[in-house]
């Protein structure tokens, strides 16, 4: 069975959820772990530029990529259990939402708040994905990765992954040195719903099940977020900025309706969508890229946007938010240029 398909001069339009039409020199579609390992090690040994691609839901292509793209398509979900927990071993190429759906269907609660987050399982630990009060670090047990320098498969515990808000060791110390191959998920059998975040607090808790929460989260996301198949986007484009409590209190005096959430005792996490909406930027356009009319945190491709259009729009938003609120916004997706990831800002 063919476990890798290599395509020269391949278009990446169908491989990024923004639907931006750029190409790469070679595209490797890899369908099993052994081939993923051998392909990555071979390219690493040749010192060739390589982009590891999951669902393409966290990148903005700014130029044709002058290197090799490895599309991870590895599949497999294994489940074990003891009296207290379900333990899942999930291969990196599995679709994240399909994993959440599988768990809910099998009666395993804990992932339902993370429904409809685009992308693959292997990309999830890199920025510690999260939604509605739950982050990957809350249910992650371990992360397996290929260490490119040694060629060894290694495993980090959740503590060793150095997870923080949209951060991990894979964005810092191990950036460019590791390829995530699988993750472990640990779900408590004594399910406790997480309903403290925003609209989830309105859910009636009598006879509540993970399926109820899953359905409600899906409904919320479908109402607020455009389907990338219909309108190209990467979901939330900006991180919610974290600021000191004292800074928040000064902003709150000027803007009593400001939306924020506590992060420990000393910091507040501002709702970036509120900032952009308050600044009157919904619908703002740069060529064919625009701020979504229904959700200010989402930038969309109206059909013919380039990566540069998206970047220009993001820069204008960042500049305007700094002028109005004195708050620095930071883009979530990676910007991919001709030779690899570009610095933001």
pLDDT of 258-295, one tens digit each?
999 888 899 999 999 999 999 999 999 999 999 999 99
- Structure pTM? 0.91
What integer pLDDT is reported at residue 6 of this predicted model? 76
Backbone phi, psi, residue 190, to 5°: -85, 85
Cα angle at 162 between 198 and 265, to 5 degrees?
A: 45
Question: 23, 57, 236, 290: which one is catalytic?
Answer: 236
The span from the CA of 52 to the CA of 29, in Å, is: 10
The CA dihedral of 218, 221, 222, 227, to the nearest 10 degrees, is: -120
Taking 70 as the pLDDT cut, the residues of the chain under it are 1-3, 345
- Is the four-CA dihedral 140, 136, 3, 24 of positive or negative sign? negative
Q: How far is CA 130 from CA 67, 70, 114, 239, in A?
A: 31, 25, 6, 11
Q: Mind listing the pLDDT tens digit for each residue in 299-338?
A: 999 999 999 999 999 999 999 999 999 999 999 999 999 9
Question: Given this model, what pLDDT does residue 205 score?
Answer: 83
Q: How many CB atoms lie under 10 A from the CB of residue 25?
A: 15
Q: Check residue 224 and give its pLDDT.
A: 86
According to the model, what pLDDT value does residue 185 have?
Answer: 98
- The pLDDT score that the predictor gives to residue 44 is 96
pLDDT computed for residue 3 by the predictor: 64
Q: Which two tokens stand for residue 245?
A: 């409590």
Query: Judging by DSSP bridges, how do beta strands 140-147 and 152-157 pair with one another?
Result: antiparallel
From the list 135, 168, 332, 334, the catalytic residue is 332
CA distances to 110, 112, 133, 188, 306 from 86, rounded to whole Å, are 10, 15, 21, 6, 44
Q: How far apart are CA 252 and CA 231, in angstroms?
A: 35
Length of the chain: 345
CB 96 within 8 A of CB 120: yes
* Helix-, strand-, coil-residue percentages of the chain, each rounded to 5: 30, 30, 40
Q: Which residue has the tokens 């992954």?
A: 161
Whether 236 is catalytic: yes
Element (H, E) at 319: helix 307-325
Task: List the catalytic residue out of 112, 166, 168, 290.
Answer: 166
- Has 155 been annotated as catalytic? no
**Upper half-sphere CA count for residue 113 (Cβ side, 13 Å):** 23
Euclidean distance between CA atoms 332 and 105, whole angstroms: 31
Which of 197, 288, 298 minimizes the C-alpha distance to 238? 298
Kindly state the helix (H) or strand (E) to which residue 298 belongs, with its residue range: none
Active site residue 166: yes
């Amino acid at each position: 069975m063919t476990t890798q398909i290599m395509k020269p001069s391949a278009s990446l339009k169908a491989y990024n959820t923004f639907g931006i039409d750029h190409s790469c020199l070679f595209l490797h579609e890899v369908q099993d772990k052994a081939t993923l390992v051998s392909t990555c090690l071979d390219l690493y040994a040749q010192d060739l530029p390589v982009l590891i691609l999951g669902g393409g839901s966290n990148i903005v292509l700014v130029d044709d990529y002058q290197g090799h793209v490895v599309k991870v398509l590895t599949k497999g979900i294994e489940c074990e259990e003891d009296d207290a927990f379900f333990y899942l071993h999930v291969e990196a190429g599995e679709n994240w939402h399909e994993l959440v759906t599988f768990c809910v269907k099998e009666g395993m609660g804990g992932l339902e708040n993370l429904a409809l987050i685009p992308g693959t399982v292997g990309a999830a630990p890199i920025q510690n994905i999260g939604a509605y009060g739950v982050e990957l670090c809350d249910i992650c047990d371990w992360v397996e990765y290929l260490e490119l320098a040694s060629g060894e498969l290694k495993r980090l515990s959740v503590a060793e992954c150095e997870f923080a808000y949209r951060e991990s060791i894979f964005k810092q110390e191990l950036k460019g040195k590791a390829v995530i191959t699988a993750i472990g998920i640990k779900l408590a059998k004594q399910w406790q719903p997480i309903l403290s975040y925003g609209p989830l607090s309105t859910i009636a808790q009598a006879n509540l099940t993970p399926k109820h929460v899953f359905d409600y989260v899906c409904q919320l996301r479908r109402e607020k977020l455009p389907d990338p198949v219909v309108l190209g986007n990467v979901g939330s484009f900006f991180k919610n900025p974290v600021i000191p409590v004292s800074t928040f209190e000064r902003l709150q005096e000027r803007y009593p309706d400001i939306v924020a959430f506590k992060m420990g005792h000393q910091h507040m996490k501002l709702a970036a969508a509120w900032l952009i909406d308050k600044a009157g930027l919904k619908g703002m356009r740069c060529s064919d890229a625009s701020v979504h009319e229904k959700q200010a945190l989402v930038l969309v491709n109206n059909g013919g946007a380039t990566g540069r259009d998206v970047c220009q729009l993001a820069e204008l938003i960042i500049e305007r938010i700094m002028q109005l609120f004195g708050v620095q916004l930071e883009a979530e997706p990676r910007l991919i240029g001709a030779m690899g990831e570009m610095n933001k800002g």
